[in-house]
């Protein structure tokens, strides 16, 4: 069944690797899907970890996001976004898969006019099919991440609660400012998510406080603790709430999903009141 309103498009962004971007994209999307929201994950990372984490073998695919971004859908090298989307083992959760080919997309897009709009243009036809679309991005601020920012309404920034966590944040915020001012696209920070949190250590608590000092009320109430079950679930190719629903990580991502839905409901009511 088609979703009549336009999807909320949310990119997971942090140029630092190892901060649980993919884990968050997959598990948050799965939690929203399990609550009846039709949800799409677009894997925009050439490492294709979100694709593998949702049980799809990147090596066995003939068409991926790469063909959508750089090919012409009228020839054999191209595809529409709708043509590459596959269902997952989770009801209401769909995937636009990636593969290592996507690494070439940065080079191939670089010479094109309007290259930062490639994904946004191709997403248009599917926006009314979903309630939420999550874009998992590579650990860089290159052209793929720029495409994700321009295609999104909002971003979630997962930040590992380790030393140096906030390094690079000013660069990310400069990139957001550039998207707003030079590309003319308003993209907001939906929330900042502390990840790999260890409540037993003072340093984790201090770093979370540092994140709150830097981002203020943008920090989610939920923090995701380090959890070996999250690693296990991605290795077996299913989201954690299916692999081990009673685990701490599964419950934390369910809490995060509630925060995301609540924030959108409040925003929708505010917009309606203004009209």
Separation of alpha carbons 199 and 226, rounded Å: 10
Split at pLDDT 50, 70, 90, the class of 1 is very low
pLDDT of res. 71: 77
pLDDT of res. 263: 76
Structural domains of the chain sorted by starting position, each given as residue range(s) with its CATH number in brackets: 8-274 (3.40.50.300)
Q: What is the mean pLDDT of residues 110-114?
A: 84
User: What's the predicted TM-score (pTM) here?
Assistant: 0.93
pLDDT of res. 76: 58
pLDDT of res. 114: 85
Q: Which residues pair with 200 in a beta bridge?
A: none
Q: For 48-99, how does the pLDDT look when each residue is reduced to its tens digit (9 = 90+)?
A: 999 999 999 988 899 999 999 987 654 556 789 999 999 999 999 999 999 9
pLDDT of res. 174: 93
Q: For 134-178, how does the pLDDT look when each residue is reduced to its tens digit (9 = 90+)?
A: 999 999 999 999 999 999 999 999 999 887 888 889 999 999 999
pLDDT of res. 111: 82
- Helix (H), strand (E) at residue 65: helix 65-70
Furthest CA-CA distance within the chain = 57
How many residues does the structure list for the chain?
275
- The tokens of 208 are what? 């979370």
pLDDT of res. 54: 93
Separation of alpha carbons 114 and 117, rounded Å: 6
Q: What is the mean pLDDT of residues 197-207?
A: 88
Spatial contact of 263 and 154, defined as CB atoms under 8 Å apart: no
Give Rg (Cα) of the chain: 18
Q: What percent of the chain has pLDDT over 90?
A: 62
Separation of alpha carbons 18 and 46, rounded Å: 15
In a 3-state reduction of DSSP, which class is residue 255? helix
Whether the pLDDT of residue 117 is over 70: the answer is yes
DSSP track, 166-235? TTTHHHHHHHHHHIIIII----EEEEEEEESB-TT-HHHHHHHHHHHHHHGGGB-S--PBP-HHHHHHHH
Separation of alpha carbons 108 and 123, rounded Å: 19
- The tokens of 24 are what? 């968050």
Separation of alpha carbons 8 and 129, rounded Å: 11
Q: What is the mean pLDDT of residues 255-272?
A: 81
- The tokens of 257 are what? 């999903």
pLDDT of res. 200: 87
Q: What is the mean pLDDT of residues 102-123?
A: 89
Split at pLDDT 50, 70, 90, the class of 271 is low
- The tokens of 34 are what? 């399990």
Q: For 228-245, how does the pLDDT look when each residue is reduced to its tens digit (9 = 90+)?
A: 777 778 777 777 777 778
Whether the pLDDT of residue 257 is over 50: the answer is yes
Separation of alpha carbons 265 and 8, rounded Å: 11
- Helix (H), strand (E) at residue 84: helix 81-84
Average pLDDT value for the chain: 89
Split at pLDDT 50, 70, 90, the class of 227 is confident
DSSP track, 113-145? TTGGGHHHHHHGGGGGG-SEEEEE--SSSSHHH
Whether the pLDDT of residue 10 is over 60: the answer is yes
């Amino acid at each position: 069944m088609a979703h009549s309103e336009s999807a909320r498009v949310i990119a997971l962004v942090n140029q630092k690797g190892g901060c649980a971007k993919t884990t968050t994209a997959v598990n948050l999307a799965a939690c929203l899907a399990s609550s009846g929201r039709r949800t799409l994950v677009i894997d925009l990372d050439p490492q294709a970890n979100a694709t593998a984490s949702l049980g799809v073998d990147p090596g066995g695919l003939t068409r991926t996001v790469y063909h959508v971004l750089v090919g012409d859908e009228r020839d054999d090298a191209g595809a529409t976004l709708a043509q590459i989307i596959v269902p997952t083992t989770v009801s209401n959760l769909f995937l636009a898969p990636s593969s290592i080919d996507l690494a070439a997309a940065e080079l191939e897009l670089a010479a094109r006019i309007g290259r930062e709009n490639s994904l946004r243009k191709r997403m248009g036809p599917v926006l009314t099919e979903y309630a939420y679309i999550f874009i998992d991005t590579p650990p860089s601020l290159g052209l793929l991440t720029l495409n994700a920012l321009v295609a999104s309404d909002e971003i979630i920034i997962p930040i590992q609660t380790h030393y140096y966590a906030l390094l690079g944040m000013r660069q990310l915020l400069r990139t957001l400012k550039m998207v707003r001012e030079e590309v003319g696209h308003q993209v907001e920070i939906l929330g900042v998510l502390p990840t790999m949190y260890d409540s037993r250590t003072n340093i984790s608590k201090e770093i979370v406080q540092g994140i709150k000092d830097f981002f203020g009320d943008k920090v989610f109430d939920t923090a995701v603790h380090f959890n070996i079950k999250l690693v296990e679930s991605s290795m077996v190719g299913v989201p954690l709430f299916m692999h081990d629903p009673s685990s701490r990580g599964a419950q934390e991502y369910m809490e995060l999903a509630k925060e995301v839905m609540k924030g959108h409901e409040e925003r929708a009511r505010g917009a309606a009141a203004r009209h």
